[in-house]
Structure 1
Amino acid sequence: MKIAFVGAGSVVFTQGLLADLFAFPELAHARIALHDIDPERLATAEGAARHIAEVRGAKPVITAHLDRRAALADADFVVNIVQVGMNEATRTDFAVPARYGLRQTIGDTLGVGGIFRALRTFPVLKGIAEDMADLCPDAHLLNYTNPMAMNVLYLSRIAPALRVTGLCHSVYWTVHDLARLLDVPFEEVSYLAAGINHQSWLLRFERAGQNLYPLLDEAIARDPGLPRRVRVDMYRRLGHYPTETSEHSAEYVPWYLPHAGEIERLRLPVGAYLDIIEENTANYERTRAALAKGTPLPVEGTLEYAPQIIHSALTGTPREVYGNVPNRGLIDNLPPDSVVEVPCLADALGVHPTRVGSLPPQCAALNRTYASVTDLVVRAATDCDPRHIRHAAMTDPATAAALPVEGIWDLCDELVRAHGELLQPELRAVLGH
Structure 2
Amino acid sequence: MRAESASSKVTRIVITGAGGMTFPLTLIADLLTMPELQGAEVVLHDLSLERAARTARAAQAVADAHARPLQLVVTTDRREALRGATHLLLTFQVGGLAAYRSDTEIPRRYGVDCVAGDTLGPGGIMRFVRSAPAFEDLARDVLELCPEALVLNYTNPMAMNCLYLQHLGLRVVGLCHSVPTSARVIEELLGLDAGKLRYVAAGINHQAWFLTVEAAGKDLRDDLRDVLRARFLPEYGGTTPWTEGDLAYQGGQERVRAELLETFGYFLSESSHHASEYVPFFRRSPESVKAHLPRRWDYLRGSLNVAGQEDALVSATVARLRARLECSGEFGMRVIAALVGGPAANVYVNVRNDGWIANLPGDACVEVSALVNEAGVHPTVVGRLPGGCAGLNLTGIALQTAAVEAVIRRDCAALIGAFALDPLTASLVELPAIRRLASELLAAQATWLPSWLRTQARL
Residue aligning to 2:163: 153
Question: 1:232, CA displacement in angstroms?
Answer: 1.5
Change (3 A) 1:398 1:320: same
In the alignment, which of 162, 174, 195 is matched to residue 187 of structure 1? 195
* Separation of aligned partners in 1, 2:208 and 2:24: 26
SS of the aligned residue for 1:191 comes to strand
Change (3 A) 1:211 1:297: closer
Question: 1:28, CA displacement in angstroms?
Answer: 2.1
In the alignment, which of 148, 151, 161 is matched to residue 141 of structure 1? 151
Contact 1:287/1:297, CA 8 A, preserved across alignment: no
The 5 A counterparts of 1:333-352 are 333-352=359-378
**In the alignment, does 2:59 pair up with 1:33?**
no
Aligned residues: 427
**In the alignment, does 2:417 pair up with 1:394?**
no
* Separation of aligned partners in 2, 1:399 and 1:287: 35
Question: 1:11, CA displacement in angstroms?
Answer: 2.9
One-letter code of the match for 2:288?
E
Residue aligning to 1:258: 284
Residue aligning to 1:69: 79
SS of the aligned residue for 2:445 comes to helix
SS of the aligned residue for 2:434 comes to helix
In the alignment, which of 228, 231, 234 is matched to residue 260 of structure 2? 234
TM-score (norm 1): 0.94
Change (3 A) 1:187 1:40: same
Encode CA deviations 1:210-258: one digit per residue, 9 max, x unaligned: 2111221232244224586211211111110010011111111111112
* Separation of aligned partners in 1, 2:54 and 2:61: 11
* Separation of aligned partners in 1, 2:67 and 2:283: 48
Change (3 A) 1:61 1:182: same
SS of the aligned residue for 2:340 comes to helix
**In the alignment, does 2:228 pair up with 1:217?**
no
Change (3 A) 1:181 1:55: farther
SS of the aligned residue for 1:395 comes to coil
Question: 1:288, CA displacement in angstroms?
Answer: 5.6
**In the alignment, does 2:409 pair up with 1:409?**
no
The 5 A counterparts of 1:100-119 are 100-119=110-129
**In the alignment, does 2:258 pair up with 1:248?**
no
Change (3 A) 1:304 1:271: closer
Unaligned runs of 5+ in 1: none
Residue aligning to 1:326: 352
**In the alignment, does 2:80 pair up with 1:54?**
no
| Comparing 226-235 and 104-113, the one that deviates more | 226-235
Residue aligning to 2:135: 125
* Separation of aligned partners in 2, 1:55 and 1:377: 46
In the alignment, which of 86, 90, 94 is matched to residue 84 of structure 1? 94
The 5 A counterparts of 1:290-309 are 296=319, 298-299=321-322, 301-309=327-335
**In the alignment, does 2:33 pair up with 1:10?**
no
SS of the aligned residue for 2:195 comes to helix
Change (3 A) 1:239 1:289: closer
Contact 1:94/1:271, CA 8 A, preserved across alignment: no
Identity %: 37
Residue aligning to 1:167: 175
Question: 1:126, CA displacement in angstroms?
Answer: 1.5
Change (3 A) 1:225 1:315: farther
Unaligned runs of 5+ in 2: 1-10, 232-237, 241-252
**In the alignment, does 2:313 pair up with 1:313?**
no
One-letter code of the match for 2:401?
D
CA RMSD of aligned residues (A): 2.0
**In the alignment, does 2:284 pair up with 1:276?**
no
Question: 1:289, CA displacement in angstroms?
Answer: 6.3
